[in-house]
Chains A and B, each alone.
Chain A
Amino acid sequence: DTAVSQTPKYLVTQMGNDKSIKCEQNLGHDTMYWYKQDSKKFLKIMFSYNNKELIINETVPNRFSPKSPDKAHLNLHINSLELGDSAVYFCASRSDRMNTEAFFGQGTRLTVV
């Protein structure tokens, strides 16, 4: 019954590899996000998708590409992984109604070795 689910929960991979993190929400929400939580625990927005259209793209390297096959899914693909990409990545979603709360997934801890 999880509202926002991410897979995998843990991901350990070597530098230079390409990996994907999947996110699904069953709340019928219109907007989905990817956030990165760095080693200092600071959460920063990476991407936001509204009805399958990218509406925010903060200063994130081109190696990161969000893909939204439908409104309920927002996957994050990362090419040529670097050590500095190690972090916890959170997916979130919210309704388009003005004053509604955001729901977050449990996070994916990515470790690049």
Chain B
Amino acid sequence: QVQLQESGPGLVKPSETLSLTCAVSGYSISSGYYWGWIRQPPGKGLEWIGSIYHSGSTYYNPSLKSRVTISVDTSKNQFSLKLSSVTAADTAVYYCARLVRASGTYYFDYWGQGTLVTVSS
């Protein structure tokens, strides 16, 4: 069974960089699939942040692209998110998930439990 677990600081100061890691178990990232980050501000809807392939190829949400970096570490079977220059608007539950991608079909089939990151001084 594929499992994903987010980890990282729950509190980040404004203007600093938010850093999260997603540890994957039950599946080797090197074997394929894209992997992604999604966030959900309190009481609001879901927003895709970006996705990465095991080779390092990335797709980013254009609205966040200038501030986002997603990387993968196949030796540790994990991938990471960095979001720079954060503001209160970046306060959200951050989820990592596995993305199935094939010929016009894209969907997240396995999700982490999510981690709340609050941006506040």
A in complex with B: no
